[in-house]
């Protein structure tokens, strides 16, 4: 008999008391516990000698306690310090406010510890690691130890032992609910293997296989559920474009070869365009990955088919930059491009509007001005929104009403809540550009406390200028008002010019300036007539000046991580090594942690994920509120490729079997309904 439904209280080692505590974690049956997955794993398969430990790594080591110290630090914190010794060296293991540990661990005890290593002035230290007595059982089987999300009164060991007992004493076999075809197609392991190995991984490989299956399953259930219960699949008929040989001529005329990722994204877009369905696609790619050219080619294909195209950008600077680069690329192919932005004179505007209406304009580029009522196209075929996260959903939708079901492409460098919601609601397909053009070097980022400011300006900045490069300096974010921010930028420029750079051309750029002046400054900066550009966040998106290789961000603690990453993306655009310096003046741990993340990684997806981790998912987007079941192992940032596969598969399944009535889908449907009904009262099992 299968004991999946057995009350957890009757499992060996549990009893009524522990059961009550597990109930608090929503664990009532064996099955509930089996689906209570670890949050992470500690790799204890590799026990290092003390001398092998490196600064900043998370590692496992063992030794004998040679000294125990306990004392109160200045701030009343009780510090407990064990010195571990092995034949290669010493390691200090430090705990705060846990002096009961001195009762558990004594001088002479053999212990195993797992934690992050700090090496400071010749001393090795581990703060608040996992610590356990070392037994011989551990020598024969070093392993991956699961770490569970817990509540008070249930220890990690409790769960580990209970799971062990279940697998030794109970008969647990979960019926497979994914269709055979899917298991085969995606080479997934069985549900039994997955669950068992999530809790008790045989080795890293098995864990990876198990995780992959569970993540895929979670996304599949989520996605089918969303399509099934909410929106259904959008099958609106769209324009059926044709592929054109001339597009290849344009590609050949580019000064570079497309990266594989660009080609892949482009092909996905073209496939959408030639199908009779309306395209609704998101191109996601880190800053600098080269999204613009994909947009250019998409717009060109629309024009080669006799339709018009529109490209909307969030700022005038960016719109102008796109205008220039599109003109450069497409003018030789007899494609007419126009710009529509707020700063045009009334007369200029009227002229552009006229040209759009009678199709003298093939491609229109602009800001929000594009969605104003007086803009009328002759036949709009494709609509592209750049840096989509800066726009509201409505604005994007409004642009598409200017045509008759035009294809829609949105581009973004930052996965943000709104975009995520869109992904989750499944109304967008996703293409990912996960590769930077060749020759790019990662941007070297370092954070400094503000007392180093003087050194930074007189050394780093000076050196960079002397090498012939240019520098951006971003001044602190002032949320209250653009006017105060503008003033701050001007003050900073004056200060820097006076103190450090009286011999250089230092200019300022902010949102309050006249567009024509902004243009002139950007133009001068591009041509290296300005060496240092002091700016507000108006340069956050899209701006491209490859010779600028150093970015200084003042009061970096005031910016969000994603925003810092966007800003930093303004450098590292050419082949010269680029740097970003973050100046901060906050001593909080959160600030430190955030600065460290920026120093550690150049990967925008990782940064969003960390941002989410620090801010907490509740603040980021409340899934429950949207009626979306909780993801236990899947992470919409980290596993976006799997999410995408699952999304495609969901559509495929629903296309064949809209109501999930086929025999191979019955069990899957049951799982989906169960997951969704637990958080949506209106959904019932029938």
Instruction: Choose the contact partner of 647 out of ligand ADP, Mg ion, none; CB within 5 to 8 A by kind.
Output: none
- CA-based nearest residue to 653, from 227, 218, 176, 187: 227
Does 88 participate in binding ligand ADP (rule CB under 6 A)? no
Does 288 participate in binding ligand ADP (rule CB under 6 A)? yes
The minimum distance between CB 511 and ligand ADP, in angstroms, equals: 21
Positive/negative CA dihedral, 342, 345, 351, 354: positive
Rounded Cα–Cα distance for residues 127 and 114 (Å): 10
Rounded Cα–Cα distance for residues 281 and 264 (Å): 13
Instruction: Choose the contact partner of 293 out of ligand ADP, Mg ion, none; CB within 5 to 8 A by kind.
Output: ligand ADP
- Cβ proximity to ligand ADP: between 199 and 565 the closer is 565
Does 572 participate in binding Mg ion (rule CB under 5 A)? no
Q: Which of 38, 381, 542, 604 binds Mg ion (CB under 5 A)?
A: 542
Query: What's the longest Cα–Cα distance across the chain?
Result: 89
The minimum distance between CB 536 and ligand ADP, in angstroms, equals: 19
Contact region with Mg ion (CB under 5 A), list: 81-89, 135-143, 216-224, 541-549: 541-549
Contact region with ligand ADP (CB under 6 A), list: 185-193, 212-220, 288-296, 454-462: 288-296
- Cβ proximity to ligand ADP: between 80 and 329 the closer is 329
Helices (H), 25-145: 30-34, 101-104, 136-140
The minimum distance between CB 261 and ligand ADP, in angstroms, equals: 9
For residue 509, give the DSSP letter: E
The minimum distance between CB 544 and ligand ADP, in angstroms, equals: 5
- Cβ proximity to Mg ion: between 544 and 586 the closer is 544
Rounded Cα–Cα distance for residues 599 and 310 (Å): 38
Rounded Cα–Cα distance for residues 32 and 30 (Å): 5
Does 419 participate in binding ligand ADP (rule CB under 6 A)? no
- Cβ proximity to ligand ADP: between 223 and 549 the closer is 549
Does 413 participate in binding ligand ADP (rule CB under 6 A)? yes
Rounded Cα–Cα distance for residues 649 and 76 (Å): 57
Instruction: Choose the contact partner of 555 out of Mg ion, ligand ADP, none; CB within 5 to 8 A by kind.
Output: none
Does 251 participate in binding ligand ADP (rule CB under 6 A)? no
Q: Which of 111, 172, 265, 293 binds ligand ADP (CB under 6 A)?
A: 293
Helices (H), 616-665: 617-620, 640-656
Give counts: helices (H), strands (E), the chain: 25, 22
- Cβ proximity to Mg ion: between 14 and 543 the closer is 543
CB atoms within 10 A of CB 661: 9
The minimum distance between CB 321 and ligand ADP, in angstroms, equals: 8
Rounded Cα–Cα distance for residues 355 and 500 (Å): 50
CB distance 55 to 117 below 8 Å: yes
Rounded Cα–Cα distance for residues 597 and 578 (Å): 18
- Cβ proximity to ligand ADP: between 262 and 305 the closer is 262
- CA-based nearest residue to 273, from 157, 408, 452, 424: 408
Burial, 251: exposed, middle or buried (Cβ in 10 Å; 0-12, 13-18, 19+)?
middle
> How many CA atoms lie less than 13 Å away from 347 in the CB half-sphere?
0
CB atoms within 10 A of CB 556: 29
The minimum distance between CB 405 and ligand ADP, in angstroms, equals: 27
Q: Which token pair is 266?
A: 């482009």
Contact region with ligand ADP (CB under 6 A), list: 156-164, 193-201, 255-263, 660-668: 255-263
Does 129 participate in binding ligand ADP (rule CB under 6 A)? no
Q: Which of 206, 223, 262, 302 binds ligand ADP (CB under 6 A)?
A: 262
- Cβ proximity to ligand ADP: between 288 and 629 the closer is 288
- Cβ proximity to ligand ADP: between 290 and 415 the closer is 290
- Cβ proximity to Mg ion: between 403 and 542 the closer is 542
Instruction: Choose the contact partner of 366 out of ligand ADP, Mg ion, none; CB within 5 to 8 A by kind.
Output: none
- Cβ proximity to ligand ADP: between 318 and 673 the closer is 318
- CA-based nearest residue to 598, from 505, 590, 125: 590
Distances (CA, A) of 652 to 227, 509, 578, 644: 11, 50, 45, 12
Instruction: Choose the contact partner of 262 out of Mg ion, ligand ADP, none; CB within 5 to 8 A by kind.
Output: ligand ADP
Does 578 participate in binding ligand ADP (rule CB under 6 A)? no
Q: Rg (Cα) of the chain, in Å, rounded?
A: 29
Instruction: Choose the contact partner of 573 out of Mg ion, ligand ADP, none; CB within 5 to 8 A by kind.
Output: ligand ADP
Instruction: Choose the contact partner of 598 out of ligand ADP, Mg ion, none; CB within 5 to 8 A by kind.
Output: none
Contact region with Mg ion (CB under 5 A), list: 160-168, 196-204, 508-516, 538-546: 538-546
Instruction: Choose the contact partner of 560 out of Mg ion, ligand ADP, none; CB within 5 to 8 A by kind.
Output: none
Does 289 participate in binding ligand ADP (rule CB under 6 A)? yes
Distances (CA, A) of 268 to 277, 282, 290, 291, 425: 13, 11, 16, 14, 20
Strands 58-72, 110-120: pairing is: antiparallel
Q: Which of 290, 403, 572, 634 binds ligand ADP (CB under 6 A)?
A: 290
Contact region with Mg ion (CB under 5 A), list: 102-110, 345-353, 537-545, 595-603: 537-545
- Cβ proximity to Mg ion: between 98 and 263 the closer is 263
Q: Which token pair is 224?
A: 């089918």
3-state secondary structure of 166: helix
The minimum distance between CB 262 and ligand ADP, in angstroms, equals: 6
Q: Burial letters for 400-424: b for 16+ Cβ neighbours within 10 Å, e otherwise?
A: bebbebbbbbbbbbbbbeebbebbb
Contact region with Mg ion (CB under 5 A), list: 319-327, 498-506, 539-547, 600-608: 539-547
Which positions lie near ligand ADP, rule CB under 6 A? 256-259, 262, 285, 287-293, 413, 437, 542, 544, 573
């Amino acid at each position: 008999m299968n004991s999946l439904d057995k009350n957890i209280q009757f499992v060996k080692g549990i009893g009524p008391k522990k059961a009550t505590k597990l109930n608090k974690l929503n664990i009532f049956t064996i099955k509930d516990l089996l689906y209570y997955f670890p949050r992470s794993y500690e790799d204890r398969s590799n026990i290092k000698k003390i001398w092998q430990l490196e600064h900043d790594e998370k590692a496992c080591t063992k030794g004998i306690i040679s000294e125990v110290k306990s004392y109160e630090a200045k701030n009343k914190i009780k510090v407990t310090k064990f010195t571990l010794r092995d034949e290669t060296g010493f390691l200090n293991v430090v705990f705060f406010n846990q002096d009961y540990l001195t009762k558990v661990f004594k001088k002479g005890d053999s212990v195993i510890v797992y934690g992050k290593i700090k090496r400071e002035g010749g001393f090795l230290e581990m703060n608040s690691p996992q610590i356990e007595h070392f037994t011989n059982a551990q020598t024969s089987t070093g392993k991956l130890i699961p770490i569970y999300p817990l509540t008070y009164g249930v220890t990690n060991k409790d769960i580990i032992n209970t799971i062990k007992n279940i697998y030794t004493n109970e008969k647990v076999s979960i019926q497979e609910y994914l269709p055979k075809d899917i298991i085969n197609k995606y080479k997934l392991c069985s549900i039994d293997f997955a669950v068992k190995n999530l809790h008790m991984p045989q080795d890293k490989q098995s864990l990876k296989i198990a995780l992959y299956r569970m993540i895929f399953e979670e996304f599949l259930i989520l996605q089918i559920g969303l399509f099934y219960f909410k929106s259904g699949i959008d099958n609106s008929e769209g324009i059926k474009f044709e592929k054109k040989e001339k597009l290849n001529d344009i590609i050949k005329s580019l000064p570079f070869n497309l990266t594989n990722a660009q080609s892949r994204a482009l092909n996905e877009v073209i496939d959408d365009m030639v199908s009779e369905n309306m395209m609704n696609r998101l191109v996601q790619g880190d800053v600098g990955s080269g999204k613009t050219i994909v947009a250019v080619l998409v717009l060109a294909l629309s024009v080669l088919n006799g339709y018009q195209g529109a490209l909307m950008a969030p700022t005038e600077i960016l719109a102008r930059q796109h205008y220039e680069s599109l003109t450069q690329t497409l003018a030789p192919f007899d494609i007419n491009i126009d710009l529509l932005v707020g700063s045009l004179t009334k007369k200029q505007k009227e002229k552009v509007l006229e040209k759009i209406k009678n199709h003298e304009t093939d491609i229109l580029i602009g800001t929000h001005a594009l969605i104003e009522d007086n803009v009328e196209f002759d036949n709009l075929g494709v609509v592209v929104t750049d840096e989509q996260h800066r726009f509201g959903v409505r604005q994007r939708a409004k642009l598409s009403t200017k045509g008759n079901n035009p294809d829609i492409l949105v581009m973004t460098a930052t996965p943000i809540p709104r975009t995520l919601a869109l992904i989750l609601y499944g109304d967008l397909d996703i293409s990912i550009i996960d590769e930077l053009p060749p020759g790019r070097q990662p941007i070297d980022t370092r954070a400094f406390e503000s007392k180093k400011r003087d050194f930074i300006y007189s050394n780093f900045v000076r050196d960079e200028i002397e090498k012939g490069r240019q520098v951006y300096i971003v001044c602190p974010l002032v949320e209250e008002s653009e006017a105060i921010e503008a003033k701050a930028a001007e003050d900073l420029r004056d200060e820097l010019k006076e103190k450090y750079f009286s011999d250089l051309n230092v200019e300022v750029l902010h949102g309050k300036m006249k567009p024509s002046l902004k243009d002139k400054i950007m133009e001068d900066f591009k041509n290296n007539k300005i060496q240092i550009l002091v700016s507000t966040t108006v340069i956050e998106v899209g701006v491209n000046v490859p010779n600028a290789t150093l970015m200084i961000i003042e009061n970096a603690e005031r910016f969000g991580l994603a925003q810092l990453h966007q800003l930093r993306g303004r450098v590292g655009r050419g082949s010269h090594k680029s740097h970003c310096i973050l100046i901060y003046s906050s001593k909080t741990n959160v600030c430190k942690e955030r600065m460290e993340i920026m120093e550690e990684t150049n990967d925008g997806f990782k940064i969003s994920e960390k941002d989410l981790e620090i801010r907490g998912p509740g603040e980021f987007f409340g899934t429950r509120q949207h009626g979306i079941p909780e993801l236990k192992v899947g992470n919409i940032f980290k596993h976006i490729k799997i999410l995408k596969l699952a999304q495609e598969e969901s559509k495929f399944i629903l296309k064949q079997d809209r109501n999930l009535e086929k025999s191979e889908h019955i069990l899957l449907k049951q799982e989906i309904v169960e997951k969704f009904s637990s958080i949506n009262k209106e959904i019932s099992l029938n």
